Chains A and B, each alone.
Chain A
Amino acid sequence: MTASTVTPASLAPPRRGKIRRSLTSDWAARITFYVSIIVAWQLLAWQVDRMPAPWETFDFLYRELTGGSHGGVITGVFWEHFLVTLQRFSIGLGFGFVIGVILGVAIGTLGFVKSLLNDVMLVFLALPAVIWAFLTVMWFGLGWAAPVYTVILSTIPFVAVNVTQGIRAVSPDLHRMSGAFRVPRERRLRHLMLPAITGYMFTGLRFAVIIGWNAVLLAEWFGSTNGVGWRARFWYDAARYRGFLGWVLIFIAFIFLLDGFVMRPLQRRAFRWRDGRTGDGDQDAAESVIDTMAARGV
């Protein structure tokens, strides 16, 4: 999709008019896609009573950002709820990532930990985040603990599995060679293990971000009194679907931007030494989605 993708079409561009060519360019195709989404949304809003139209939703979002009221409720609390959720999400993500890395290294390097946890991990990978949300709400009640623990518990297995994979990907030949040449332990860690697992750690972090965001929203929906997930539920329960859909758009927009503009480029950078790419190509988008699928928890 970028210029670096070599396809027969780009090698020999067909002779077309200038207008025609600009209408069929990649950028035009992308813009057309977004326009079609908005059109489809508008059509859906005409068909379904409960579905607000795009402009109504954006109008609500504007009021939730700047102040005013909607359906008798004072709006303008976007930052308040967003920052609460962001804080829970970051704390949970931090703990989940650190514990996941430690666990992943233990599974990858210690034999008995591996035999103990390798298969059990499968169960935890398959465990939907909503279960953690329910359990933590029952354990800790409404408040801060449930969302934070839900994020920690649902991200750990994904980070751990990726780190373990990274450790297994270290070439055994290189290990043996560094043994034969008596390379000291710390140099082996720095130059052999670390480069090998960094990329996998970033992949794990990326999954953790995707999964953790879903987890924090679920836990807030079912067991919180503030935050993004709670606010969406608030409007849903009040049957004010503009408010509800507005916040659902925030669910999507946040992760879309974070994953597309921060996490995916970072992951590519971390694997750059291995893939031999300069880091701007998007031809591995397909791979990365397949990866996401492989490790995704909903």
Chain B
Amino acid sequence: MVLGWVGFLALWAFTSVFILDEFTLPGPAKVGAAMWQIVAQGEFFDDFAASISKTFMGFALGALIAVPVGYAMGRSRYWKAFFHDGVVGAGSIPGITYAVLALVIFGTGFLGPVIAVGLISMPFIALSVAEGVEGVDRNLISMARAFRRSDPQISRHVMLPSIMPFVFAGVRLAFAIAWKVEALTEVFGSSNGVGFQIRFAFQAFSITNVLAWTLLFILFMLMIERGLAVFERRVFRWRVWETA
């Protein structure tokens, strides 16, 4: 694993010095220095805080709509057919669509990225919820009814535990997409955030800064994904047949 990274950095440095030049492809040392400067000057924290708060808000909005939709899809054949094309099609619509539409409808403010994130995460969360609801063991529900458990009790102790793992998996995967679309929306129009900084570096024709911000962006995303995966394993430790 270490070998991979060392090899990659070596290849990058070699290409930068001997095949291309320092301007076309700045070497790892130069990009690393730029990354350090971004972090040391505090820009990193301001812009990542801006981006991450927009992502979470959009995500919350998406989940708020997606959970009832997913529940309806899991329970009723009609709603499943109703939402089917939208939910499946949303997986293939290019991210640029969300970004430019948000720009036109909401302008360059704060609302654009939030709505874009909400829209892109919604179908994915809805689908996971629907799958979870469909996967609930009907025999368990009948048994709970036979033992005269109330509906709230059934929801809390039978439905919820079997739906949650699906929801969590959906959320974890949707997050990576949401994070990318959020940055993309900022690239198209925003006054702060990671995407804005990448756009700014592009317009200043600074390949070094584009690479530095991109690497910070990716590191951050991989860290959050890893963190969510660890959290997921802890929360669902009780599941014997756990595979994820």
Contact = CB atoms under 8 A, between A and B. Distances in A.
Interface of A: 1, 7, 9-10, 24-27, 29-30, 32-34, 37, 44, 48, 50-51, 115-120, 122-123, 126-131, 134-135, 137-139, 210, 213-214, 217-218, 221-222, 229, 232, 236, 241, 244-245, 248, 251-252, 255-256, 259-260, 282, 285-286, 288-290, 292-294, 296-298
Contacts of B120: 298
Given A260-B92, A293-B124, 15 more contacts: A24-B78, A29-B79, A29-B82, A51-B105, A116-B4, A116-B7, A117-B4, A135-B211, A138-B207, A214-B94, A259-B92, A288-B88, A289-B124, A293-B170, A293-B173
B100 A248 contact: yes
Given A134-B202, A217-B96, A285-B88, A298 B177 contact: yes
Interface of B: 1, 3-5, 7-8, 24, 77-89, 91-97, 100-101, 104-105, 120, 123-124, 127-128, 130-131, 169-170, 173-174, 176-177, 180-181, 183-184, 187, 198, 202, 205, 207, 210-211, 214, 217-218, 221-222
Contacts of B214: 127-128, 131
B95 A214 contact: yes
A292 to B, nearest CB: 4
B77 A33 contact: no
Contacts of B210: 131, 134-135, 138
A188 to B, nearest CB: 29
A122 B24 CA distance: 24
A232 B89 CA distance: 21
Nearest to A223: B202
Nearest to A50: B104
Nearest to A287: B131
Judged by DSSP, the binding face of A is helix
B194 to A, nearest CB: 10
Contacts of B128: 290
Contacts of B93: 251-252, 255-256
B106 to A, nearest CB: 9
